[in-house]
């Protein structure tokens, strides 16, 4: 049996490689706010342009409740990109799950998509409100596959933000603990956390946006980025770095940013770093565990970015999250 | 739905199976172990019957429960399921002596369960529920402890067989755990205790929910026989699955029975197929709403839905004479008194996984030679409660517990090969008969 299993595995690997993808994504010189309309539906995603620039990533030792993994402060240069104005909601995510829109419209770019698997994957049995609420309990892989699907549907290259892009967009030019300054009490105007959420996830866009016009960067759901978590990330990066990203091979821990409706206020700070835990899947009764869903991460969601300059094919391929089986 | 087996098909199967055996195709007949031990020292031998994702998960939980558990045999009707299961377990437990499976101990086919069960002390039954009565009977007749998934049957005949076999297990002092894992979950156990102590008074009503977007679909593939297609896509066939009110919503109905301390005396309700009615959606409904009446007049409203894009809610809520409780499987429980003041808020962040707890309890009892657990009756009662709910929505009639348990309802034929006739057949458009309220008998 063992031998047989191995053989089957090899066949699967070969099959995957044969399906190598070919695609051309659009390039544009325009760098303005736009709404991405998903063909075959009424749904749009508003994308906010973030101009290239340099910022201080991390927090100083003086910052209240600051953790060691937020330092030392590093000079980070980021190329321009668009970021979604809101956390991805069920309204959009269910189009990906359901894929009814796919049946009627030809895709604009061909991608190797393993999305039959997601429509086949059973979502965790928990309470969700859907319309207008951010999607939660999604794995980083699922979030990345959503980006792939959206890229194929629209012809524009979408992906998860890097940790540095995320913090750059969150700060919106502000080095203080929060994008709105030092005064944590003002959080009530900008974000959902433990004290003001009544323990409930909230609809997106109910609070004020940051200076870039982006909503809910602080709180509501903690958001996936591409990077693996390493408490020494900024030490490894050194004093200054350009477009950094650390994509590791291990499934855990990976970074989530912004804190959530369940967090204490200090976990919502622009520099605060959260990370994934195996226990987020602890009530998954199956083996292998779901590639797509957590059972115990009802405060974990994501938003998407699109680089201003579409990278070449090799670089695009590096930005998809690989599936890792979990037993 | 008819039960008879086509003699021609039976003959075909015999030829077919002879071929398989001749080819040495995973099938093997080994003599049953003669020696039986009720308390076990050293290795505890486990056989897995039904090698899907849940079965593989259960096998792993058994391995985690006791360091001397060995997986000694597996059985399934699908070879790829066996392969995938062993691949996963070998990944999870690399270089482990604990998974002792080879060609001689992997049993493929409809009767492979017998060979696998013969080799074990404890058996895990995780096939689709249609086959549970058959496998449970064989396991108990052969003196095995059992972990079996819910539901325990899809029809009334199955329920009767399970109850009878459960009594036999009791007389033989065999432990039986049924995978209604809320019974092994801390928030549920805590609330049950508090209800029994009268913290919310007497339960007078409740609402139980399993509203979700539904589950996987396995579209028909070419070269499949009708029976093979149905068994791959088993969720959508009543004889295999029992409909989602039985297969999933059983959990929530079971909590109502457990907390009230009684079974419903009757059910009436409504249901249908509004959204999920495609070619690969078989026969089952996508929603049921049932009103259950309990012996002291308590009413439980039960709703289950498999429709995408709608509110999701999987939870139980009860109102008592002195307070109320809301509880769900995400380790959540909130109890309030009549003045809406919180009297208990369960902090379940680090509670043990209930799927693990049920195996921990089972293997501990077996290890210590104790006869402690027999969930059979509770599993059968919960399954029957869900079945009368289904009968109510399918028929549009009031169904009482007492009349249901006297019914002769057998949806599951004896099966020996994929060439056997499936008990339901598609029409010329590939669609299956769907229950019609007011027309369907039950």
CB within 8 Å: B87 and A8: yes
Angle separating helix axes B53-65 and B354-367, nearest 10 degrees: 50
- Predicted confidence (pLDDT) per residue in A75-104, tens digit: 999 999 999 999 999 999 988 887 766 665
Q: How far is A128 from chain B (nearest CA, A)?
A: 5
Which pLDDT belongs to residue A110?
58
Interval B326-338 mean pLDDT:
96
Q: Is the pLDDT of residue B1 over 50?
A: no
Cβ–Cβ pairs < 8 A, chains A and B: 98
> Does residue A269 contact residue A59 with C-beta atoms inside 8 Å?
yes
- Predicted confidence (pLDDT) per residue in B101-156, tens digit: 999 999 999 999 999 999 999 999 999 999 999 999 999 999 999 999 999 999 99
Lowest mean pLDDT across B54-63, B95-104, B251-260: B95-104
Which pLDDT belongs to residue A95?
87
Of A4, A288, A298, the CB nearest to B88: A288
Give one word for B79, left, alpha or beta, with left for phi > 0 and alpha for psi -120 to 50: alpha
Q: How far is A271 from chain B (nearest CA, A)?
A: 26
Q: Is the pLDDT of residue B15 over 80?
A: no
CB within 8 Å: B312 and A98: no
Contacts of B331 (CB under 8 A, 6+ apart): B185, B186, B187, B346, B348, B349, B351
Q: Is the pLDDT of residue A65 over 70?
A: yes
Rounded to an integer, what distance in angstroms lies between the CA atom of residue B344 and that of residue A72?
44
CB within 8 Å: A1 and B103: yes
Using a CB-CB distance cutoff of 8 angstroms, which residues of chain A are in contact with residue B355?
Answer: 283, 285
CB within 8 Å: B83 and A8: yes
Which pLDDT belongs to residue B4?
39
Is the CB of A130 inside 8 Å of chain B's CB atoms? yes
Question: Which tokens is A143 given?
Answer: 């979030």
Which pLDDT belongs to residue A97?
84
Which pLDDT belongs to residue A12?
35
Edge-to-edge, what's the strand order for the sheet holding A240-242?
A53-57, A74-78, A240-242
Give one word for A324, left, alpha or beta, with left for phi > 0 and alpha for psi -120 to 50: beta
Which pLDDT belongs to residue A120?
64
Query: Domain limits of chain B?
Result: 2-182, 194-351+375-405
Q: How confident is the model at residue B169 (pLDDT cuts 50, 70, 90)?
A: very high
- Predicted confidence (pLDDT) per residue in B367-417, tens digit: 999 999 999 999 999 999 999 999 999 999 999 999 999 999 999 999 999
Is the CB of A298 inside 8 Å of chain B's CB atoms? yes
CB within 8 Å: B308 and A98: yes
Is the CB of A283 inside 8 Å of chain B's CB atoms? yes
**Triad B321, B208, A284: Cα angle to 5°:** 130
- Predicted confidence (pLDDT) per residue in A3-42, tens digit: 444 333 333 333 333 333 445 688 877 899 999 998 778 8
CB within 8 Å: A287 and B86: no
CB within 8 Å: B88 and A98: no
Q: Which residues pair with A228 in a beta bridge?
A: A254
CB within 8 Å: B54 and A285: yes
Q: How far is A134 from chain B (nearest CA, A)?
A: 13
State whether the Cα torsion A268-A270-A272-A273 is positive or negative.
positive
Which pLDDT belongs to residue B278?
94
May I ask the CATH class of domain B194-351+375-405? Answer: alpha beta
Is the CB of A309 inside 8 Å of chain B's CB atoms? no
Residue A48: φ, ψ to 5°: -105, 125
3-state SS assignment for residue B136: helix
Q: Which of B142, B181, B162, B169 is nearest to B61 (CA)?
A: B181
CB within 8 Å: A286 and B56: yes
Which pLDDT belongs to residue B423?
97
> Does residue B378 contact residue B77 with C-beta atoms inside 8 Å?
no
Question: Which tokens is B2 given?
Answer: 């008819």
With CA atoms as reference, the chain A residue closest to B93 would be: A327
CB within 8 Å: B83 and A1: yes
Task: Identify which has the larger pLDDT, B95 or A132.
Answer: A132
Using a CB-CB distance cutoff of 8 angstroms, which residues of chain A are in contact with residue B147?
Answer: none
Is the CB of A42 inside 8 Å of chain B's CB atoms? no
Integer CA distances (angstroms), B239 to A219, B286, B376, B396, B423, in order: 47, 16, 21, 20, 8
Task: Please report how many Cα atoms fall inside a 13 Å half-sphere around the Cα of residue A35, on the Cβ side.
Answer: 6
- Predicted confidence (pLDDT) per residue in B78-91, tens digit: 999 999 999 999 99
Which pLDDT belongs to residue A122?
73
**DSSP state letters, A158-184:** -BPPPHHHHHHHHHTT--SSBTTBS-G
> Does residue B245 contact residue B292 with C-beta atoms inside 8 Å?
no
Q: Which of B324, B128, B320, B114 is nearest to B215 (CA)?
A: B128
Q: How confident is the model at residue B96 (pLDDT cuts 50, 70, 90)?
A: confident
Q: Which of A132, A113, A109 is nearest to A43 (CA)?
A: A132
CB within 8 Å: A325 and B212: no
Of A125, A128, A287, the CB nearest to B88: A287
Fold type of domain B2-182: Rossmann fold (3.40.50)
Is the CB of A278 inside 8 Å of chain B's CB atoms? no
Q: How far is B5 from chain A (nearest CA, A)?
A: 33
* Chain B: residues touching A (Cβ < 8 Å): 52-54, 56-60, 82-83, 86-92, 101-103, 106, 181, 210, 212-213, 215-218, 248, 308-315, 328-330, 353-355
Q: Is the pLDDT of residue A152 over 70?
A: yes
How many CB atoms are located within 10 Å of the residue B24 CB?
10
Contacts of B289 (CB under 8 A, 6+ apart): B269, B270, B271, B301, B302, B303, B393
- Predicted confidence (pLDDT) per residue in A229-253, tens digit: 999 999 999 999 999 999 999 999 9
What mean pLDDT value characterizes chain A?
88
Q: Which residue has the tokens 């819910």?
A: B150
Which pLDDT belongs to residue A118?
67
Q: Which of B338, B375, B342, B406 is nearest to B152 (CA)?
A: B375
3-state SS assignment for residue A116: helix
Cis amide bond preceding A157, omega within 30? no
CB within 8 Å: A127 and B57: no
CB within 8 Å: A125 and B212: yes
CB within 8 Å: B311 and A130: yes
The answer to whether B2-182 and B194-351+375-405 have equal CATH topology is no
CB within 8 Å: B213 and A123: yes
- Predicted confidence (pLDDT) per residue in B32-67, tens digit: 343 344 556 789 999 999 999 999 999 999 999 999
Q: How far is B90 from chain A (nearest CA, A)?
A: 8
With CA atoms as reference, the chain A residue closest to B26 would be: A1
Instruction: Report residue B360 CA to chain centroid gap.
Output: 19
- Predicted confidence (pLDDT) per residue in B193-210, tens digit: 999 999 999 999 999 999
């Amino acid at each position: 049996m063992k031998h047989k299993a191995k053989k089957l595995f090899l066949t699967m690997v070969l099959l995957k490689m044969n399906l190598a993808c070919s695609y051309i994504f659009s390039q544009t010189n325009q760098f303005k706010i736009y709404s991405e309309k998903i063909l075959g539906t009424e749904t749009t995603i508003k994308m906010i342009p973030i101009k290239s620039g340099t910022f201080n990533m991390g927090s100083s030792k003086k910052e209240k409740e600051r953790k060691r993994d937020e330092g030392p402060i590093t000079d980070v240069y980021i190329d321009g990109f668009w970021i979604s104005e809101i956390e991805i909601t069920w309204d959009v995510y269910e189009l990906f799950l359901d894929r009814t829109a796919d049946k009627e419209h030809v895709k604009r770019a061909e991608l190797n998509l393993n999305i039959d698997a997601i429509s086949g994957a059973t979502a965790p049995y928990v309470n969700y409100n859907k319309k207008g609420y951010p999607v939660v309990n999604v794995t980083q892989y699922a979030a990345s596959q959503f980006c792939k699907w959206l890229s194929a549907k629209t012809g524009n290259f979408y992906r998860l933000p890097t940790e540095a892009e995320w913090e750059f967009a969150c700060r919106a030019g502000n080095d203080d603990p929060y994008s709105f300054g030092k005064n944590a009490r003002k959080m009530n105007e900008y974000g959902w956390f433990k004290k003001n959420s009544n323990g409930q996830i909230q609809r997106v866009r109910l609070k004020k946006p940051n200076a870039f016009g982006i909503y809910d960067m602080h709180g509501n759901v903690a958001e996936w980025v591409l990077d693996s978590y390493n408490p020494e990330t900024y030490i490894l990066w050194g004093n200054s770095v350009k477009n950094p990203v650390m994509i590791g091979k291990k499934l855990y821990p990976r970074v989530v940013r912004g804190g959530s409706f369940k967090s204490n206020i200090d976990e919502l700070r622009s520099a605060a770093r959260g990370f994934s835990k195996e226990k987020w899947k602890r009530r998954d009764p199956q083996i292998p565990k779901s590639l797509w869903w957590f059972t115990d991460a009802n405060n974990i969601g994501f938003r998407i970015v699109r680089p201003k300059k579409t990278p070449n094919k090799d670089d695009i391929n590096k930005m998809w999250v690989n599936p890792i089986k979990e037993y | 739905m008819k039960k008879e087996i086509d003699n021609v098909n039976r003959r075909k199967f015999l030829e077919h199976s002879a071929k398989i055996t001749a080819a040495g195709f995973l099938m093997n007949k080994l003599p049953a172990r003669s020696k039986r031990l009720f308390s076990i020292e050293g290795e505890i031998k486990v056989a897995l019957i039904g090698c899907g994702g849940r079965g593989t998960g259960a096998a792993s939980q058994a391995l985690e429960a006791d360091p001397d558990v060995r997986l000694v045999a597996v059985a399934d009707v699908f070879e790829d399921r066996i392969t995938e299961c062993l691949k996963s377990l070998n990944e999870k437990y690399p270089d482990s002596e604990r998974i002792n499976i080879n060609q001689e101990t992997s049993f493929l086919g409809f009767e492979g369960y017998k060979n696998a069960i013969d080799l074990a002390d404890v058996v895990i039954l995780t096939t689709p529920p249609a086959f549970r009565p058959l496998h449970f009977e064989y396991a108990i007749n052969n003196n095995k402890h059992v972990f079996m998934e819910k539901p325990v049957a899809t029809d009334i005949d199955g329920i009767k067989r399970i109850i009878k076999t459960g009594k036999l297990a009791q007389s033989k002092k065999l432990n039986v755990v049924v995978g209604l894992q809320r019974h092994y979950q801390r928030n549920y156990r805590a609330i049950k205790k508090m209800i029994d102590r009268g913290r919310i008074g007497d339960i007078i009503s409740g609402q139980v929910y399993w509203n979700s977007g539904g589950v996987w679909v396995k579209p028909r593939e070419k070269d499949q026989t009708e029976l093979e297609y149905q068994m791959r896509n088993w969720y959508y066939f009543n004889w295999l699955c029992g409909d989602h009110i039985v297969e999933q919503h059983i959990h929530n109905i079971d909590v109502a029975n457990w907390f009230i301390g009684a079974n419903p005396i009757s059910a009436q309700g409504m249901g249908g197929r509004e959204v999920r009615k495609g070619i690969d959606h078989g026969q089952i409904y996508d929603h049921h709403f049932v009103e259950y009446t309990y012996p002291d007049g308590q009413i439980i409203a039960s709703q289950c839905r498999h429709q995408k894009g709608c509110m999701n809610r999987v939870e139980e809520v009860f109102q008592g004479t002195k307070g109320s409780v809301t509880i769900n499987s995400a380790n959540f429980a909130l109890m309030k008194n009549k003045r809406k003041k919180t009297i208990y808020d369960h902090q379940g962040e680090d509670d043990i996984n209930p799927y693990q707890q049920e195996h921990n309890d089972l293997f501990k009892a077996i290890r210590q030679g104790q006869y402690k657990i027999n969930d059979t009756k509770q599993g059968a009662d919960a399954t029957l409660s869900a079945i009368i709910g289904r009968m109510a929505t399918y028929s549009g009639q009031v169904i009482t517990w007492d009349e249901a348990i006297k019914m002769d309802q057998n949806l599951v034929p004896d099966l020996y090969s994929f060439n056997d006739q499936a008990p339901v057949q598609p029409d010329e458009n590939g669609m299956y008969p769907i229950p019609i309220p007011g027309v369907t008998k039950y």
